[in-house]
Structure 1
Amino acid sequence: MKPKSKVVESAAASCFLVMSLLCTYTNGDQMETNNYEETLSYSYYEKTCPKVEEIVKSSLSSMFVLDPTAPAALLRLMFHDCQVQGCDASILLEPSGDQQQFTELDSVKNFGIRKRDLIGSIKTSLETECPKQVSCSDVIILAAREAVALTGGPRIAVPLGRKDSLSIYSKHMADSELPPSTADVDITLSLFAGKGMTVEESVAIMGSHTIGVTHCNNVLSRFDNANATSQNLDPRFETFLRVACPEFSPTSQAAKVTFVPNDQTAVIFDSAYYDDAIAGRGNLRIDSEIGADPRTRPFAEAFAADQDRFFNAFSSAFVKLSSYKVLTGNEGVVRSVCDKVDD
C-alpha cells in the first residue's frame, strides 16, 4: 500500500465509521428487526415517478467522472443522516429565518460532510419530472446506492417510500448518536446489532471504508489511546501514519484537512479493505481490529478471498441500515426543497 497525504480544503469526505445508533449487543445475534417490508416498497414510485432511479443515476454519472471523491462523500452523507434519528434527510436542513441554533451538521463528528448540494440538484431535476413525489431521504439513499455501483460495487436493490423529517436535530443529538473514531469491535458490533445486522453483515458494512479517505484528526486520536499497541497495527504502517499525520493537535485545522486514503484503491469499491485490515493496515482502530478479533476475522478473511460474498453481505447490510427508523405515511413529508421544510 502506498497512500499519500494531501492538504486540501476540498478533500474527499472520510467514510469514517459508518456505524449507527446506540443499542444492545449480545453474542453477535440480531437484536432488533427492521420491518421495512411492511413500510417501504421496491415499486413505490412505479406510477408516481417511474424514472426516478434513471434520473438519479444520470445526474451522478458525469459528476463521478469530474470528481472521483464524490462517491465516498455521498456514501458518508447517507450513513451520517441515518445515524441520527434514522434516514430522514434531516442532515440537509438549514435553520430558517431568524433561527439561531447549532444543528447536527455543526457536530465535529460531521466535519467534512459534502455533496449536500448535489442531493439538492438531483431533487430539482426530480421536481421537474414529478413534483412533490420523491422525498429527499429517498434521494440520499439512491445517490449512495449509485456511489457504490458506479465505483465498481454491487447495484443494490433498495426499497423506497421514506418521508422527510420536519425537525432540525441538534448538535448535541449528533454528538451523542454518531460514534467516535476510536470505536472498537465491541462498540461496532453493538451499534450494528441494533439495526438487525448479523456479525457478517456488520463486518461487510465496514467495507464501505474501501473508498474515500480518513482525515488526520481521526487518525491522531488513535495514538492517544494507551492501548494502541493492542490494535493490530502493523509497525511499518504506524510509522507511515505518524509521518503522514504529524503531531498536529487533533483539533487543529491542519489535522482536519490532511488525510490518508482508506486503502490502496480508494476510488474503487472492492475488497482491498479487508486485505489491509487483516495485515494491520487500517487507518482507524476498528479498521485494524476487524481483521484480528476472533469474532470478525473469519468474515474479513472470507471477504478478502471472495469479493462476491462481500458484495452480497454488504447489499443486505446496506438495505437494513437505509431502512432503519424511517418515516413513512403521515409520519413525515416530501419536501419540495431539501434544505428547508415547506411552508
Structure 2
Amino acid sequence: MASVALAVTDGMLHFELSLAHEVFGSRPAAVTGPWYDLAVCAPAPVRVERFRLEPDHGLDRLAAADTVIVPGWADADADPPAELVDAVRAAHRAGARVASLCTGAFVLAAAGLLDGRRATTHWAHTDALAARYPRVTVDPDVLYVDNGSVLTSAGKAAAMDLCLHLVRLDHGAAVANTVARRLVVPPHRDGGQSQFVTTPVPAPENHPLAALFPWVLERLDQPLMVEDLARQARMSSRHLGRHFRAVTGTTPLQWLLAQRIRHAQELLETTNDGIERIAGATGMGTATTLRRHFQRTVGVPPDTYRRTFRPEAVLTGGHRSVRPGPVR
C-alpha cells in the first residue's frame, strides 16, 4: 500500500488540503485492492484558515512517505516556515515523490526542488514565483507540470487535476475515472504535458455542444470526422470549431483523438483484448495506427502501458491472457 503524507503547517489553504485528503484518503467503493495510506503531518496542531487541525504525525514522517503533497500556502508573499521547507527537502532526498497544489509551489521552490525545472502555480502568483526563484522555469499557462519526482499545479480546480493525475499514474485510467465520477468532476484535463493524460468531457452545462459529447463517446468505434460532428450538432464545421475551442480549449479532431486514446487506455487496463481489437473498438482502424497515436500521446507503446497497469498480464501463444490477481 502506497503512503501519502500531507505536509501541513499554519497558513495552509483549506480547499487544497481538503481535496487532497478526499482523493487519497477515501477509497471509492467500486475500487478493489489496496488504496493509499494517508497521513496528515504537521509540527503541532495548526490553523488552516478558520479550522484547527490535529495532525497524525510530525513533519519528520514525511521522509517515510512514498508521496508528499504540499497544499496551497495562504501568504505567498511570506517565506514558508523553515521546518516545513527542510522536511519537504528531506523527504525528496529520501526518495519521495513531491507534489505541490497551487501556491504550495513556493515551498518546493524554497526547498530547491524546482531549481532547473519547469513549474507552475496559481496564475496570480506566477510572476512572484519567477521573480523570487529565478532558477525555476515558471509556466503560467498550464494546469500542472509533471517532472517525475516533482510535480506542481495551478490553483483550485487544477489541484484536483493533479491529484487525479497521480491516481492515474498509480492505479490507471479506469480507477482515476472512478474517483472522478465519485467526486462529480471531469475525469481528467490535459495538464500541458503528454504523459498519461486525456482531454475531458466538460461537465454538463448549457452550451451548444452538451448533447454532442455523449453522442460521440457512444460511437468511438466509428470513423467519425469533423463533418459528422458538425452535422450532428447542426452547425457548420467552422462554427463547430469555434465552440470546441471555447468549451474544451482544443479542436474537434484533437478532442476526438484524446477520447479514443482514453478509451484505449481503459480497454488495455480492464480487458484481455488484443491491440487489433482495441484499435477497432476505438476507431483507430489498425493496430499500427493505434500504436503510433498511443506512443505519441501517452509516451509509451500500448503493450508497455498494459504491463504497467496489468503486471499480471502475459502473452500465451500469441494471445493476451491474464493471470488471476488484483488490478493495480
Place the TM-score, normalised by the shorter chain, in its bin.
under 0.3
Decide which structure has greater strand share: 2
Task: Specify the structure having the higher radius of gyration (Cα).
Answer: 2
TM-score after normalising by structure 1: 0.25
TM value normalised by structure 2: 0.26
Q: Considering Cα pairs closer than 8 Å and 6+ residues apart, tell me whether 1 or 2 has the greater RCO.
A: 1
